[in-house]
């Protein structure tokens, strides 16, 4: 391995690539939430159109599962984001342009959904998935009780 330091141009390009990775990951996270929200609308539409409690139950359970996968994706993407930011900070240090105000991101857990003092964007997304899960279960409960 070479002990040569990367050039300033190489470091700037690596920073750019890490930012692109971060933005692509964040876009994927938002897209997954959009799809899950559309599935929540589809649950109601399917129930109104078909009206079969077995189909509604299956659709609601699938929605809860999809939303849980969305939470897991968001947690994984937070780890990717953390890695990206660590690399960006390291490259910026090598360039001598580190922002002293920049705070390192922290990993999240499923239980952070209930820590209301925390408010990073991935946690907002996780909370939206949780609300969708509550909606699916509440809709199913109300629907089955009306039978």
CA distance to 48, 96, 111, per residue, from 41 (Å): 11, 50, 26
Domain span at residue 100 reads 8-145
Q: What is the pLDDT of residues 36-62, one digit of tens each?
A: 999 999 999 999 999 899 999 999 999
In a domain, 37, yes or no: yes
**pLDDT score recorded for residue 38:** 98
In a domain, 131, yes or no: yes
In a domain, 2, yes or no: no
Q: What is the pLDDT of residues 102-133, one digit of tens each?
A: 888 889 999 999 999 999 999 999 999 999 99
In a domain, 88, yes or no: yes
In a domain, 30, yes or no: yes
In a domain, 1, yes or no: no
Number of domains in the chain: 1
In a domain, 13, yes or no: yes
What pTM was estimated for this model as a whole?
0.88
Q: What is the dihedral of CA 9, 12, 13, 14, to 10 degrees?
A: 120
CA distance 16 to 95: 13
CB atoms within 10 A of CB 42: 13
Candidates 131, 75, 129; CA nearest to 105 is 75
């Amino acid at each position: 391995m070479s002990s040569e330091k990367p050039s300033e141009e190489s470091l700037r390009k690596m920073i750019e690539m890490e930012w692109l990775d971060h933005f692509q990951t964040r876009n994927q996270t938002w897209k997954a939430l959009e799809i899950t929200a559309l599935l929540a609308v589809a649950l109601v539409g399917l129930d109104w159109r078909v009206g079969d409690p077995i189909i509604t139950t299956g659709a609601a359970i699938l929605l809860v599962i999809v939303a849980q996968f969305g939470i897991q994706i968001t947690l994984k993407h937070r780890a990717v984001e953390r890695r990206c930011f660590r690399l960006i900070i390291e490259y910026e240090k090598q360039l001598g342009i580190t922002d002293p105000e920049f705070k390192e991101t922290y990993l999240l857990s499923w239980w952070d959904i209930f820590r209301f003092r925390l408010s990073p964007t991935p946690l907002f997304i996780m909370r939206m998935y949780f609300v969708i899960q509550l909606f699916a279960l509440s809709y199913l409960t109300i629907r089955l009780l009306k039978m």
